[in-house]
């Protein structure tokens, strides 16, 4: 079943509503992050031409969040991660649909970790985490090559497999978690999204996040960092400015394939 960007966003909104209800019910702190904060402030909802949705959870609460979601999500959604999917290729869990790949439609649950006060040590940790992520990206590319086989792609998959062979996904995840737990979030003065794609821009004083500010998002509210203006300027500078029209139009025509049974479960919402 093919769905358009409006339908994609309606499904993700339903995912987000359930996720927020469950996390709140279980006293878990969380924040919308990156483009999801931008959408909240600039559009009071998702960015109209964007299909991405991201949440940050303090690392000390991430396992609880994951387990609560797995236990309490309705049958319309599920948790996808390495614990229940041997082929999973991310270092963080996702909320997804039951039969559709989480690479297609999802909410990312990123870990917000504590950092030391020392700037050099912060950069060192940032570099280490980036290298671990790059290895996981190679695993993802290998899976993509295997699932769309031709001679060239299978050759590329074999090269990636040789490169990754000393590092099992479970061992990489264990090492990653060890690094993320080194400086407890609760006592840290600095924090970062350990799985973000913005490098050192992901490092903030913890006071930037502070007490979540609840803002309108479509027909419900979402939590964003307390100092959201500072947060958005770090990533996007003049964040209220729209990108060029041709860039927006390109994504507004985007379509996504989902499983027919998943569509049946959610169609009344879209």
Could you state, in order of their start, the residue ranges of all structural domains in the chain? 2-113+188-269
pLDDT for the residue 77? 97
Give the pLDDT confidence score for residue 66 in this predicted structure.
Answer: 98
How far, in whole angstroms, is CA 34 from its chain's centroid?
10
> How many other CB atoms are found less than 10 A from the CB of residue 120?
8
As a whole number, mean pLDDT of residues 235-252 equals 92
pLDDT category of residue 174 using cuts at 50, 70 and 90: confident
> What's the pLDDT score for residue 167?
55
CB 110 within 8 A of CB 56: yes
CATH architecture of 2-113+188-269: 2-Layer Sandwich (3.30)
Q: Is the pLDDT of residue 21 over 80?
A: yes
Average pLDDT value for residue range 185-192: 96
Give the side-chain half-sphere CA count within 13 A for 143: 14
What is the model's pLDDT at position 90?
84
Q: What is the mean pLDDT of residues 124-146?
A: 69
Region 150-169: mean pLDDT is 52
pTM passes above 0.85: yes
Average pLDDT over residues 19-23: 98
Separation CA 63–CA 55 (nearest Å): 14
Greatest Cα pair distance in the chain: 53
Joined together, the tokens standing for residue 11 give 């499904």
pLDDT band at 140 (very low <50, low <70, confident <90, very high): low
- State the pLDDT at residue 187: 96
- The stretch 89-114 carries a mean pLDDT of 93
């Amino acid at each position: 079943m093919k769905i358009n960007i409006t339908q994609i966003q309606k499904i993700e909104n339903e995912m987000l509503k359930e996720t927020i209800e469950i996390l709140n019910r279980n006293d878990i702190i969380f924040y919308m992050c990156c483009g999801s904060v931008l959408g909240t402030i600039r559009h009071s909802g998702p960015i109209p031409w964007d299909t991405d949705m991201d949440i940050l959870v303090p690392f000390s609460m991430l396992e609880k969040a994951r387990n609560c979601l797995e236990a309490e999500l309705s049958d319309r959604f599920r948790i996808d991660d390495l614990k229940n999917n041997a082929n999973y290729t991310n270092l963080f869990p996702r909320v997804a649909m039951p039969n559709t790949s989480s690479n297609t439609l999802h909410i990312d649950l990123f870990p917000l970790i504590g950092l030391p006060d020392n700037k050099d040590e912060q950069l060192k940790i940032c570099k280490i985490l980036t290298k671990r992520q790059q290895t996981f990206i190679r695993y993802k590319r290998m899976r993509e090559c295997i699932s769309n086989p031709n001679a060239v792609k299978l050759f590329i998959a074999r090269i990636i497999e040789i490169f990754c062979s000393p590092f099992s996904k479970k061992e990489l995840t264990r090492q990653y978690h060890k690094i993320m737990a080194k400086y407890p979030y609760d006592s840290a003065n600095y924090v970062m999204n350990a799985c973000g794609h913005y490098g050192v821009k992901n490092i903030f004083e913890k006071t930037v996040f502070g007490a979540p500010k609840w803002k309108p998002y479509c027909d419900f509210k979402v939590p964003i960092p307390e100092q959201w203006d500072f947060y958005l300027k770090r990533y996007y500078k003049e964040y209220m400015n729209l990108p060029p029209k041709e860039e927006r139009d390109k994504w507004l025509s985007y379509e996504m394939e989902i499983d027919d049974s998943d569509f049946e479960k959610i169609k009344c919402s879209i």
